Structure 1
Amino acid sequence: MGRNYKNLVGGNFVAARNGETLAVFNPARPSEQVGSVPAMGLQDLDHVFEVASEGARTWRAQGSLSRGAVLLRAAQLIRKRSADLTDLIVSEMGKTTAEASGEVGKAAEFFEYYGSMGRDEFGQFLPDGRDGTFAARLIEPLGVVLLITPWNDPLVTPARKLGPALLAGNAVVIKPALLAPLVTLALAEILHEAGLPAGTLGTVTGRVADLGDRLIEHESIKAVSFTGSTAVGKSLQRRLAGSGVRVQTEMGGKNAAVVLDDADLDIVVPTILAGAFAQAGQRCTATSRLIVQRGIASQVREAVTRAVEELRVGPGSQEGVDLGPVADERAQSTIRDHVSRALAQGASVLARPTLTGQAALEGHFVEPTFLSVDAQQDIWREEVFGPVLAMVEVDTMTEAIALVNDSEYGLSSSVFTRDLGNAFAFINAVETGQVSINQPTSGWDVHHPFGGFKDSGSGYKEQAHDGIAFYSKVKTVAIRTH
């Protein structure tokens, strides 16, 4: 049955007032319950925001040095409990042990990075044209912010948002996805133990139908940061437009990797494979489109085909596994439907290894799939969010760049080339928020600004110093000294 987790509210860990819980299952063994969380309702929600408003005043008064110290202690506790957190991610989300361990380490890095920033500048002196006048630029928190986080990175996405939000002095209410909420509640326990004052962090688990619009429309909310699908993100943008609530959305992607004739295949193949199939393709930054210049196309096609055929699919806890399960039965069905529709529209399968062992018998597993397509087929444009890579051939880099940009998404892209001129031409021409040269479309560090263009994101970047900007406001001060 697993552990029955509680929500952090006002410095206490509590059940839902109705006593109801929601079960969380292992996607590799769908009959195995790995834990449960409270099924909160509207009464619970109002109390969470009430104590968060009080917590915001307490936390703001502590100052950035004290706030940073709490984040640094949290990072130490994350590293200390790395093995348990890794096992929890594997069991509730399905990542391989290596992928989950990497996520835990990255989460610790976010708290270390923003915790150290507690000693950074939180304002500056300004010159003033008036005699005897002192002027300054002050950085202040917003108040109460709401974080809505996804199931695919259930620890690192909360860490990415909590680090800057808390360092800036805000109280945070966080709503994790119900497919993988356990590790977020475990993180709340760590932050509480690290010294976060009561009310500064509140966690909310419950069905959307039970929480309703109140979750995003509570009068105490000053900002909402969301990571998830483009459809939900754009709906949030529309619903909160004109409300005065600041909105940050990190949404979908249809990320393209371009391979030019002069590319180094020893770099291309493993990099493309990792970008497309790691985490079973369930990343907004996953490589899902492969654009190859015709002179090298047959070599790339053959090499990637061989590599995909060798991928091993199974439970994330199993040694030697490359891909774990996808999130649930619905995701499994949707991904396979995308592939079936592509084949009906004329795509051809280059590689699709048959599932064996437990992956063939139970669990939400999907075959890693490499397709040859044309750019008019649906699978070239629609986000699949699974282990599917589609390839097209082009004659020139100009054609390749046009295909990269011919998308409603603009999250990440990459090019493989040995020509520095081609590399910079690509950087300047592509319409994506993240650009890589001879690197995958995924894998951005904690101090790199992160976020997409077009329907992949909003105007606010996450991570780095840019991440602080969303969670803070600027106050300009002028004082006549005599």
Structure 2
Amino acid sequence: MRTVETLVGGEWVSAADWIEVQNPADLRTPAFRVPALAPEDVTRAYDRAEEGFAVWRRTGPIERGTVLHRAAALLRERAEEIAADVAMENGKTRAEARGETLKAADFLEYYAGLVGRGGYGTLLHDVRPDTRTSAQREPLGIVLAITPWNDPLITPARKLAPALASGNAAVLKPATETPVSGIHLARALHDAGLPAGVLNVVTGRTALIGEALLGDPRIAAVTFTGGNEVGERLRERFAVRNVRFQGELGGKNASVVLADADPAKAARTVAAASFGQAGQRCTATSRIIVQRDVYEEFTGLLLAEVATLRLGPGLDEATTMGPQAGPRQRDGILAMIEDAVKQGASVLVGGGRPADEALAHGCYVQPTVLADVTPDMDVWRDEVFGPVVVLRAVDTFDEAVEAVNDSDFGLAAALFTKDLGAAHRFADQAECGQIAVNLTTPGWDVHHPFGGFRDSGSPFKEQGTEALRFSTRVKTVAIHFGA
């Protein structure tokens, strides 16, 4: 078990108490331990963030961009070491963890260039004579970033890159299950020359430090990725304080396969969208809606794709699907499968834990395909967040769109077709923030605005230039220069 310190006020700190971080591939031996900070440590993190913001906001955007570029280079140099730790604490495959590390570097580079080499603001016409008016963006202050266990490195990078590039300070609270990945990001930024206090990483038990973390009056904005129940509580809590809130919440994403689609390509693509990262992605496909004419053919091809998946530890290069991130996640998924069967669903493949004795001590769930699913079943509506997909046949394009929109969520949807008209109609009619045609539901580039509708999130999008709307405020300045 390796001891990993956390970053507060530009210093690497420990604590009197420690949290053990499990390896979900084998629960018998903890992988890491990180400091369990106390409430007074959290308050000190905000103290240091306040001091860091005073320095960082006066640092020019080009210099800020230079720091982020250096940090990105360090992530790339350390990619193999970081990827091994991501895979160890989260369970995803080494290839997935390596990709996550490099994508995190992409976020730092993108916002370094966007802010560091972008425009200062906008000149505006003014009806008053001899008056020059402009609108400019400026940082908010201290941004609290609360990040999940499923993408423990890329999500902090997605949130922190625009915040830091814009001149804010930040307090990062990574998921208790996967804190080491976020600490790697902090180390790269620290080593790249980020001033002390600009970024602070709070590790600890939420029940103990929650009030200190959420109640500090210096919080200017909160960005959260996680479940809807917690997200709604946070939204309500900060609304009364007029604290800006950004939430990336749940999804129940659908992929539609029309009769004219290439069925083999659709099956390959949907399998990747459903079972990549063991289904632990907010954008993972979890509902598959197939036109009845090709339902049997597509189902056979999908099951063939599932048969090629190899469960195992993420650090094993032969593994194509790792474990769930922990026993809580594993047990919750298995319970949802059991409930679906009780409600009438049929298990076409998977449905339980693997029989392989070598995997007995890990948090594994077999990739699962359920059929005979109807809209009144919980598994049709509730987010599973695991390697489980449900199949449903429909007769027409309009029925397919109706099925896609039959959800409280609205994050991502995909359509497989050769009909350009159907593609455009689907993009117009599907009530989701992310629409893909002949592509996976996950997989959006750093410059693509990202976020969902309905219960999937808040009005503030992540990624691209849209992220700067959350990370900055607009100030309008009018200067009269006449006599």
User: Structure 1-normalised TM-score?
Assistant: 0.98
Aligned to 1:75: 72
- Structure 2 distance, partners of 1:259, 1:388, is 18
Aligned to 2:238: 240
Amino acid at match of 1:20: D
Give the CA deviation at 1:178.
Answer: 0.7
Q: Secondary structure at the match of 2:103?
A: helix
- Structure 1 distance, partners of 2:276, 2:30, is 25
Amino acid at match of 2:362: G
Give the CA deviation at 1:355.
Answer: 2.2
Amino acid at match of 1:368: P
- Structure 2 distance, partners of 1:319, 1:400, is 38
Amino acid at match of 2:321: L
Amino acid at match of 1:330: R
Q: Does 1:91 align with 2:88?
A: yes
Amino acid at match of 1:82: A
Aligned to 2:443: 443
- Structure 1 distance, partners of 2:63, 2:188, is 17
Q: 1:102 aligns with which of 94, 99, 102?
A: 99
Q: 2:280 aligns with which of 272, 276, 282?
A: 282
Correspondence 1:351-430 to 2 at 5 A: 351-352=349-350, 355-358=354-357, 360-372=359-371, 373-430=373-430
Give the CA deviation at 1:266.
Answer: 2.7
Give the CA deviation at 1:194.
Answer: 0.4
Q: Does 1:51 align with 2:48?
A: yes
Q: Secondary structure at the match of 2:136?
A: strand
Correspondence 1:204-223 to 2 at 5 A: 204-223=202-221
Q: Does 1:187 align with 2:185?
A: yes
Correspondence 1:158-197 to 2 at 5 A: 158-197=156-195
What root-mean-square deviation, in Å, do the aligned CA atoms of Structure 1 and Structure 2 show? 1.1
Q: 1:359 to 1:275 in 2, by over 3 A?
A: farther
Structure 1, unpaired ranges of 5+: none
Amino acid at match of 1:401: V
Instruction: Tell whether the 8 Å contact from 2:28 to 2:361 is kept in structure 1 after alignment.
Output: no
**Residues 132-141 or 346-355, more deviating:** 346-355
Give the CA deviation at 1:80.
Answer: 0.3
Aligned to 2:455: 455
Aligned to 1:433: 433
**Residues 467-476 or 6-15, more deviating:** 6-15
Aligned to 1:136: 134
Q: Secondary structure at the match of 2:195?
A: coil
Aligned to 2:59: 62
- Structure 2 distance, partners of 1:13, 1:130, is 54
Q: Does 1:9 align with 2:5?
A: no
1:243-263 deviation line (CA, Å, top 9, x unaligned): 110000000110000000100
Q: Secondary structure at the match of 1:32?
A: coil
Give the CA deviation at 1:310.
Answer: 2.7
Amino acid at match of 2:160: L
Amino acid at match of 2:30: Q
1:323-359 deviation line (CA, Å, top 9, x unaligned): 1000111111110111111111111111128725455
Instruction: Tell whether the 8 Å contact from 2:37 to 2:202 is kept in structure 1 after alignment.
Output: yes
- Structure 2 distance, partners of 1:458, 1:52, is 25
Give the CA deviation at 1:51.
Answer: 1.1
Question: What is the number of equivalent residue pairs in this alignment?
Answer: 479
Q: Secondary structure at the match of 2:22?
A: strand
Give the CA deviation at 1:242.
Answer: 2.2
Instruction: Tell whether the 8 Å contact from 2:152 to 2:178 is kept in structure 1 after alignment.
Output: yes
Give the CA deviation at 1:214.
Answer: 2.4
Q: 2:269 aligns with which of 259, 268, 271?
A: 271
Q: 1:350 aligns with which of 336, 343, 348?
A: 348
Give the CA deviation at 1:217.
Answer: 2.0
Q: 1:154 aligns with which of 149, 152, 155?
A: 152
Q: 1:31 to 1:360 in 2, by over 3 A?
A: closer
Q: Does 1:258 align with 2:251?
A: no
Instruction: Tell whether the 8 Å contact from 1:291 to 1:393 is kept in structure 2 after alignment.
Output: yes
Instruction: Tell whether the 8 Å contact from 1:315 to 1:359 is kept in structure 2 after alignment.
Output: no
Give the CA deviation at 1:320.
Answer: 2.0
Amino acid at match of 1:474: V
Aligned to 1:475: 475
1:390-432 deviation line (CA, Å, top 9, x unaligned): 0000011111111111101100000000001100110000110
- Structure 2 distance, partners of 1:133, 1:387, is 61
Give the CA deviation at 1:115.
Answer: 1.0
Instruction: Tell whether the 8 Å contact from 2:264 to 2:301 is kept in structure 1 after alignment.
Output: no
**Residues 437-446 or 212-221, more deviating:** 212-221
Instruction: Tell whether the 8 Å contact from 1:375 to 1:392 is kept in structure 2 after alignment.
Output: no
Q: Please list every run of at least 4 consecutive aligned residues from structure 1 whose deviation after the TM superposition is greater than 6 angstroms.
A: none
Q: Does 1:333 align with 2:334?
A: no
Q: 1:90 to 1:125 in 2, by over 3 A?
A: same
Instruction: Tell whether the 8 Å contact from 1:308 to 1:352 is kept in structure 2 after alignment.
Output: no
Aligned to 2:465: 465
User: Structure 2-normalised TM-score?
Assistant: 0.98
1:142-191 deviation line (CA, Å, top 9, x unaligned): 01110000011010000001110001100000000010101111211110
Amino acid at match of 1:46: T
- Structure 2 distance, partners of 1:249, 1:161, is 11
1:255-290 deviation line (CA, Å, top 9, x unaligned): 000000100113201100000001000010000000
Aligned to 2:113: 116
Instruction: Tell whether the 8 Å contact from 1:313 to 1:359 is kept in structure 2 after alignment.
Output: no
- Structure 2 distance, partners of 1:169, 1:88, is 29
| Identity value in percent | 48
- Structure 1 distance, partners of 2:449, 2:405, is 21
- Structure 2 distance, partners of 1:41, 1:360, is 36
Aligned to 2:294: 296
- Structure 2 distance, partners of 1:57, 1:363, is 46
Instruction: Tell whether the 8 Å contact from 1:359 to 1:365 is kept in structure 2 after alignment.
Output: no
Instruction: Tell whether the 8 Å contact from 1:309 to 1:352 is kept in structure 2 after alignment.
Output: no
Amino acid at match of 2:58: A
Amino acid at match of 1:420: L
**Residues 96-105 or 356-365, more deviating:** 356-365
